[in-house]
A and B are shown apart, each in its own frame.
Chain A
Amino acid sequence: MLTRFLLLGLDKKAGVLLAVLALLAVAVPVMALGTAPDSAWHLSTHTVALLGKYLCFALLALALDLVWGYVGILSLGHAAFFTLGGYAMGMYLMRQIGPRGVYGNPILPDFMVFLNWKELPWYWHGFDQFWFAAIMVVLVPGALAFAFGWFAFRSRVTGVYLSIITQALTFALMLAFFRNDMGFGGNNGLTDFKEILGFDIQAASTRVGLFVATVVALAIGYVLASSIVASKLGKVLVAVRDAESRVRFLGYETERYKLFAWTLSACMAGVAGALYVPQVGIINPSEFSPASSIEAVIWVAVGGRGTLAGAILGAVLVNFGKSYFTAALPELWLFALGGLFVLVTLFLPKGILGLAAQLRQRLPSRGAVAAKPADQKGV
């Protein structure tokens, strides 16, 4: 039954996307590890990490598209779930440093020694085990989203109000994590990681492994999301987006549907954050800033809201543009990003994929006219 459910999501678009991801999962390791460093085909560790970062953002965008594109909840706080997942992974990585830290304390991370803490706070226990951290990566954002959504959806907070309180949520978390006495490293965050699961985190092979893991996570996330969207559950979600009252009057408990999608989306964002941290090498509270949440929204908008694949495309494109601009024309990046927000909302309400769909709708009529003579010739 599960297979049938998952097969639901496998349409042609999914096929293309999964093929591209599979190609990446094969080509990148070969190019990074199998070629000589001076070869034109060689990918540096830096590039691999950069690509991995884009794909983490793509997973975050996918999670956001699930709630915004299909349930109509515009979250301005998805970076909060992303960052919480990242912190859970970061805590595991901190514990892995062990006595190799600057102060050489086998238990306490450097910043705690620096702050004169005598013992590990209770919430840091268990993070020396990977399985525990992996559970927390999903559980912590999921639990926060569940609690938040439980209250918000039950009291029927919708639309702009919901957006604003999600923003307040991530802002409050940012302020909290900036405090040193929270025990998460204050504004320096967690960094200086040494190894993950016993592998050196700087090594090219580890980076490639992390990249492949990201590709796999993104593929799973995509299949899961597109299966849900294509299922009966997905139809209800879309109906909630378009006319929530009507769905409620038909006897559906819309809160439950929303809560499910919302919590699942937060878990996906958490996983994305957890994969992001070891590849970037640092996690700090500025990731919680409302600006980064809103930036994630624009990735989805650029690619095409409510298309899933578009979210992935948008995240990769915008972040590629960001890398390019901030290196080449740092002054112009904010103009470009700001302009993107305005232009996309004004002229591309359905994003790039939507534009493609619009063009395709128009083309067949012309294409049909053009094709006729050819057909006749053929006949």
Chain B
Amino acid sequence: MHRAFCWLLAAFLALAAPAYAAEMDARLEPLVRGLGAGSYADTEKALAKLAETGDPAAVPVIEALQAGDLHVRKPDGAVVVAKRSGNGYALTDPVTGAPIGEADRNAVEKIKVNNALRRSMSAALGALTLMSPNAGTRWQAAEAVFKSRDANALDALNAALAKETDEGVKRAMTQARASVLLGSSAPDDDKLAAIEVLKDRGDQDALALLNGAASGGSDAVKAAAEKAVAAVENRLALWGAAQNLWYGLSLGSVLLLAAIGLAVTFGVMGVINMAHGEMVMIGAYATFLVQEAFRAWAPGLFDLSILVALPVAFLVSGAVGVVIERSVIRWLYGRPLETLLATWGLSLALQQAVRSLFGPTNREVGAPSWMSGAFQVGGLTITYGRLWIVVFAFLVFAALLVALRKTWFGLSIRAVTQNRNMASAMGIRTARVDALTFGLGSGIAGLAGVALSQIDNVSPNLGQGYIIDSFMVVVFGGVGNLWGTLVGALALGSVNKFLEPYAGAVLGKILVLIFIILFIQRRPRGLFALKGRAVEA
């Protein structure tokens, strides 16, 4: 009995739902038909009625009209969505979206729109979507009204505001209302309230609106608007500075990553490794290979590929570094200029080798899901990718610092750097320490390659772009001092980004280079020179 009732109910619902929908459609049907009635004025009237229904089902109809897909079928005057297919048109019902056959090209006539209609359409869509059950759609609609400042949307906005429960959407709607009110002939009190709302919003759009208000209207409104403009400009300048600081930190962390390996090979060992950029490039290509492997065998675990790529890149670049040290560099200790030339030659050969193996074009390295996207902090947009790179750069820096200070290996490195003969006499195998130190520097460059593969093109020329910058950072910070490298990277990154708005990206970079050239004149040994007697040949 109970079960039978359930069945009955289900059957009733199954019947009733389409019937309900059909009833709604029936209500829209004459209005939709009115769109194709003839003159622009008729279409406009029908549009207004359609908007009054507040029925979300009307949204696709108006969107189709906006896109120019809405046609009148000549035989019966029905309004249909017609899309080109072959020689004729494929027709669909504007409300339900159900296909209703095809028609010849001459059998349908497009509903023409003019600019006035286009405006009404946006307003109608705004009003309709303001009532949408989806909060995201409502928010978007409110933003659209904020931008269009359409006085027609004011009633819909007020109605929607009264019903709105979501805080964020409510704020957006209040702001949209303020935007409309400020442009209308509303009484001064309303305008003053609107100015307050816009002042709280405080972004570029609000600033433009307030500037408009400050140039016209009554004295009270003008004065309030001017005050608000000043407040918003202050706020924007502050967020602009914060944004620059973040960009600077972000660029600085990239420079730090690129330079920190060099701080080991050049700073600690005194080896000018012009192939350092290529170690970064090899790290990036290792990332690419690891990702290819994940794509081929474990696409589900793709998000982990970067984590796997880290040790792989470190080992591959480190191994290449050890080979280079053993085969070339160890014969050239004490001859820095020759080392520079030989490693430059190696960098050319490595670039060509990678070009021959992987081709000259960019390889695609994907971002794992936890590195894509962005979030807002006040007026600041921070992408997760950049955030992770900043975190990663500092982690690498800290790890290297610990490795050099607290481990036996680090102790050997420092001993060999400070007094090779004494270290050798104490039983440290200096040749092996040399090779491993160079490998460590190269491996860190490989780690940098993993990070840079996320923000730069993975091509054989990847390393070239970083080599001069990295040398600048190390020389600026002071050779042989990791903290100097950190400060140097962050300082150069920030200076670069703060110059950019005034001088442009290229000129900013040129200015930074000139600054470094002049700076080295003042302090030939960098920002944090090692204390003690200058070692001079």
The chain A residues found within 8 Å of chain B, CB to CB, are 74, 76, 148, 151-152, 154-161, 163-165, 167-169, 171-172, 175-176, 178-179, 245, 290, 294, 297-298, 301, 331, 333-335, 337-342, 344-346, 349
For window 322-356 of B, CB contacts with A under 8 Å fall at 328, 331-332, 336-342, 344-353, 356
The residues of A that contact B238 with a CB separation of less than 8 Å are: none
Beyond A155-B521, A159-B336, A245-B536, is A341–B345 a contact (Cβ under 8 Å)? Answer: yes
Query: Quick check: A331 and B352 within 8 Å, CB to CB?
Result: yes
For window 487-527 of B, CB contacts with A under 8 Å fall at 506-507, 509-510, 513-514, 516-518, 520-522, 524
The residues of A that contact B24 with a CB separation of less than 8 Å are: none
Query: Quick check: A161 and B524 within 8 Å, CB to CB?
Result: yes
The verdict on B471 contacting chain A, using a C-beta distance below 8 Å, is yes
The residues of B that contact A151 with a CB separation of less than 8 Å are: 518, 521
Query: Quick check: B340 and A334 within 8 Å, CB to CB?
Result: no
Chain B's closest residue to A152 (CB) is B521
The residues of B that contact A163 with a CB separation of less than 8 Å are: 337, 340
The 11 listed contacts between A and B (C-beta, < 8 Å) are: A151-B521, A157-B521, A165-B516, A165-B517, A172-B514, A176-B506, A294-B274, A298-B345, A341-B346, A342-B346, A345-B332
The residues of B that contact A344 with a CB separation of less than 8 Å are: 341
Chain A's closest residue to B505 (CB) is A175
The residues of B that contact A156 with a CB separation of less than 8 Å are: 524
Query: Quick check: B517 and A169 within 8 Å, CB to CB?
Result: yes
Query: Quick check: A168 and B513 within 8 Å, CB to CB?
Result: yes
Known interface pairs A156-B524, A175-B506; 20 further A-B residue pairs with C-beta atoms within 8 A, sorted by A's residue number: A74-B337, A152-B521, A155-B521, A155-B522, A159-B336, A159-B537, A165-B516, A168-B516, A169-B513, A172-B517, A175-B509, A294-B274, A331-B352, A334-B349, A335-B353, A337-B348, A342-B345, A342-B349, A344-B341, A345-B338
Distance (Å) between the CB of A30 and the closest chain B CB?
A: 39
The verdict on B272 contacting chain A, using a C-beta distance below 8 Å, is yes
A67 to B509 Cα, complex, angstroms: 29
Interface of B is mostly: helix
Beyond A168-B468, A176-B510, A179-B506, is A297–B521 a contact (Cβ under 8 Å)? Answer: no
The verdict on B232 contacting chain A, using a C-beta distance below 8 Å, is no
Beyond A165-B517, A346-B332, is A338–B337 a contact (Cβ under 8 Å)? Answer: no
Per a CB cutoff under 8 Å, which of B328, B509, B516, B517 touches A342? Answer: B328
A155 to B525 Cα, complex, angstroms: 11
The verdict on B156 contacting chain A, using a C-beta distance below 8 Å, is no
The residues of A that contact B352 with a CB separation of less than 8 Å are: 331, 333-335, 338
Beyond A160-B272, A161-B475, A290-B468, is A74–B342 a contact (Cβ under 8 Å)? Answer: no
The residues of A that contact B518 with a CB separation of less than 8 Å are: 151
- From B331, B341, B347, name the one whose CB has the most chain A CB atoms within 10 angstroms: B341
The verdict on B472 contacting chain A, using a C-beta distance below 8 Å, is yes
A169 to B468 Cα, complex, angstroms: 11
Per a CB cutoff under 8 Å, which of A179, A337, A346 touches B507? Answer: A179
B 93-123 to A, binary, CB cutoff 8 A, 1 in contact else 0? 0000000000000000000000000000000
Distance (Å) between the CB of A299 and the closest chain B CB?
A: 11
Query: Quick check: A164 and B345 within 8 Å, CB to CB?
Result: no
Chain A's closest residue to B270 (CB) is A160
| Chain B residues touching A, range | 35 or more
The residues of A that contact B520 with a CB separation of less than 8 Å are: 155, 157, 161, 165
A161 to B266 Cα, complex, angstroms: 11
A337 to B346 Cα, complex, angstroms: 9
The residues of B that contact A301 with a CB separation of less than 8 Å are: 341
Query: Quick check: A164 and B337 within 8 Å, CB to CB?
Result: no
Interface of A is mostly: helix
Query: Quick check: B341 and A345 within 8 Å, CB to CB?
Result: yes
Query: Quick check: B513 and A172 within 8 Å, CB to CB?
Result: yes
Query: Quick check: B337 and A157 within 8 Å, CB to CB?
Result: no
A345 to B471 Cα, complex, angstroms: 22
Per a CB cutoff under 8 Å, which of A157, A168, A331 touches B472? Answer: A168
Distance (Å) between the CB of B130 and the closest chain A CB?
A: 47
A335 to B352 Cα, complex, angstroms: 7
A294 to B346 Cα, complex, angstroms: 13
The chain B residues found within 8 Å of chain A, CB to CB, are 272, 274, 328, 331-332, 336-342, 344-353, 356, 468, 471-472, 475, 506-507, 509-510, 513-514, 516-518, 520-522, 524, 536-537
Query: Quick check: B341 and A298 within 8 Å, CB to CB?
Result: yes
Query: Quick check: A331 and B522 within 8 Å, CB to CB?
Result: no
The residues of A that contact B337 with a CB separation of less than 8 Å are: 74, 159-160, 163
The residues of A that contact B517 with a CB separation of less than 8 Å are: 148, 165, 168-169, 172
Chain B's closest residue to A290 (CB) is B468
Distance (Å) between the CB of B303 and the closest chain A CB?
A: 37
Query: Quick check: A74 and B340 within 8 Å, CB to CB?
Result: yes
Chain B's closest residue to A74 (CB) is B337
Query: Quick check: A172 and B510 within 8 Å, CB to CB?
Result: yes
Distance (Å) between the CB of A265 and the closest chain B CB?
A: 16
A95 to B333 Cα, complex, angstroms: 51
A161 to B471 Cα, complex, angstroms: 10
A157 to B523 Cα, complex, angstroms: 9
A298 to B513 Cα, complex, angstroms: 25
The residues of B that contact A161 with a CB separation of less than 8 Å are: 475, 520, 524
Distance (Å) between the CB of A164 and the closest chain B CB?
A: 5
Chain B's closest residue to A172 (CB) is B513
By Cβ-Cβ distance, the 3 closest A-B pairs, closest first, are A341-B345, A338-B349, A334-B352
The residues of A that contact B472 with a CB separation of less than 8 Å are: 164, 168
Query: Quick check: B348 and A334 within 8 Å, CB to CB?
Result: yes
Distance (Å) between the CB of A333 and the closest chain B CB?
A: 8
A331 to B506 Cα, complex, angstroms: 32
Distance (Å) between the CB of B293 and the closest chain A CB?
A: 27
- From B336, B348, B507, name the one whose CB has the most chain A CB atoms within 10 angstroms: B348
Query: Quick check: B349 and A335 within 8 Å, CB to CB?
Result: yes
A338 to B328 Cα, complex, angstroms: 12
A152 to B475 Cα, complex, angstroms: 15
Per a CB cutoff under 8 Å, which of A159, A164, A331 touches B356? Answer: A331
A331 to B468 Cα, complex, angstroms: 26
A184 to B516 Cα, complex, angstroms: 25
Query: Quick check: A341 and B356 within 8 Å, CB to CB?
Result: no
- From B336, B346, B513, name the one whose CB has the most chain A CB atoms within 10 angstroms: B513
Chain B's closest residue to A166 (CB) is B517
- From A155, A158, A165, A301, name the one whose CB has the most chain B CB atoms within 10 angstroms: A165
Query: Quick check: B509 and A294 within 8 Å, CB to CB?
Result: no
